Amino acid sequence: MTSTAFCIGGDLKVRRLGFGAMHLPTEPGHGRETSLAIARRAVELGITLIDTAYLYGGGANEELLAEALHPYPDGLLITTKVGVARSGSSGAWKLDGRPAVLREQVEQALRRLRVEQIDLLQLHRIDPDTPLADQVGTLRDLQTEGKIGRIGLSEVTVDELNQAREIVDIASVQNRYNLLDREHEPVLTACETARIAFLPWRPVAWGKSGAKVEIASMATELDATPTQVALAWLLGHSPVILPIPGTARIDHLEENLLAERLEMTPVHRDRLDNLSAVA
């Protein structure tokens, strides 16, 4: 039977199927009220891993989660990301991993989330204009200071992961990955070997029409939704995968969690395993 829990960093136990908050509207009004209700419902349903980032509204998403859930229940992990900032007169977003920027973003995240320590802080992307050692070293220093509990990376190669691990323990990797997009399979394999949590973003994206038909057909066979099939495949594909599907609808949130109960035969899994070759 597929395990429903994982210990990030070896000691931080979470439910493997989490929630990505990126798509929650944060502007005042009905949309925001719905977002607050969704975040609260996620916790009511037993979700213990919620993913956000400074990039999501320049911190507005973090503030939304704090409004909805603070004081946080025991066992709830809200992980956020830093390393992307607005630049120049246009205010366009760009990668920015300079130590001073990372420090400031972590300080602001602590304030917005209303915590003294971020249990899992992830570098949103590696800034190619700043030495990797400076970026990861800054997070290591913040960890030593007690402001970060565990450190993660996002959208990295195996080589970048290895370089970072020479500087500090890496607890998680968040790369694009799903049933039909397995470009980062080597990174997943590296995470399995080191027991590093692998949080796939865009976990249920669809590919070409032929693959969509196959997934829809299997969903009908299993009395499930295509999204549930995709999430169940991820949960069974590797024990270190922690999917974080996002939604702005409570009914979809509830449907997603039922993927944990979806039972697939080896034949079903073989059919899905072969889809990436045609996607």
Strand 5-8 versus strand 12-15 pairing type: antiparallel
Among residues 114, 263, 278, 260, which one has the least CA distance to residue 206? 278
Rounded to whole angstroms, the Cα distance separating 116 from 146 reads 8
Rounded to whole angstroms, the Cα distance separating 42 from 15 reads 12
- How many beta carbons lie within 10 A of that of residue 271, not counting itself? 17
Are the beta carbons of 38 and 253 closer than 8 angstroms? yes
- What are 129's two structure tokens? 């204009």
Are the beta carbons of 79 and 71 closer than 8 angstroms? no
| Distance from the Cα of residue 166 to its chain's centroid | 23
Active-site residues: which are they? 56
Are the beta carbons of 255 and 228 closer than 8 angstroms? yes
Among residues 48, 51, 50, 52, which one has the least CA distance to residue 5? 48
Place of tokens 């299997």: 218
Reduced to 3 states (helix: H, G, I; strand: E, B; else coil), residue 41 is: helix
Rounded to whole angstroms, the Cα distance separating 230 from 259 reads 8
5, β-bridge pairs: 15
Rounded to whole angstroms, the Cα distance separating 47 from 187 reads 25
Helix (H) or strand (E) holding 118: strand 118-123
